[in-house]
Chain A
Amino acid sequence: MTPIVWTYISYLIISVALTIWVARTLFKNGRIFLVDSFLGNEPLADSINHLLVVGFYLINFGYVTMALKSADKPVDLQGVLETLSGKIGWVLLILGGMHFFNLFIFSKMRKRALLQNALPPVPPQVFVQGVTP
């Protein structure tokens, strides 16, 4: 096997492992946010969580596979490491971006839920009796 094939194989293994790790972290820790956002509706929160993670996997694996081909062909170990590091670096950056984007979505959902349950921001001046609705 040529050095470039070794680069590709290592790249795929590392990228897939990283993606799975980030997705699992998101899945595990995002759930509590979502349950809170959906006012304790756990089945709905779990369903949204699952859908988000599927989207996360699709985008990341899509990027990883598309970015596989390398323009420079390494001939020795140094070249392999350099090429690999550049590619993994991109994968990490994309994963980081996606991760923060997901957090942004979670916090937006949570904020909306909090807003819906917010108490009136100002106190009433007086209470009147005998209101007929």
Chain B
Amino acid sequence: MRRITVLIATLAVAVSAVSAQATAAFADRPALLTSIGQSADLEMVKVLLGRAKIQFASDPLVKAAGLPAGARTLILSVGGSSKGLGAAGISTDEEMARSKALIKRARELGMKIIVIHVGGEARRGTLSDAFIEVCVPAGDLVIVVADGDKDGIFEKLAAPTRIPVIKVAKITAAGAPLAAAFK
């Protein structure tokens, strides 16, 4: 039984790694990181980017009109938080409007978009799902910590336009595919 467990774990890690490598580097630097939903998950993505030595700026509330001219890739840390929205002093509707306008403008500017969800199952639910539905179809790549995709919502939203979805077992494992996405 122990052997089987080890085998399964090894294979699972291997699958993550294979998936990560399967996506060719497509994103240019520098990147701009923002939050979609104002959860604290942005902090984790910051650490992952820092570890991967990817040059980035972070602005959780950046608006379409405020997209820096030099930014080539937009990273969306998706996850809704009532507490975060409250602390930022914005409503869900305002955040949704900002998100849609931001994605639209990024596309107009030819930016690549990476969607990342590192909050796991705890960062799902009505609020988060509304933001996930807006972000995923707009992404060039989706990275998700696996227990956040129990119901397959990310794969379902990505399937129509064949957006690659990379699932990783743990937050720490999200760094590798994120780094691999950058040229």
Are the chains A and B members of one assembly? no
**Which residues of B pack against A, CB within 8 Å?**
none
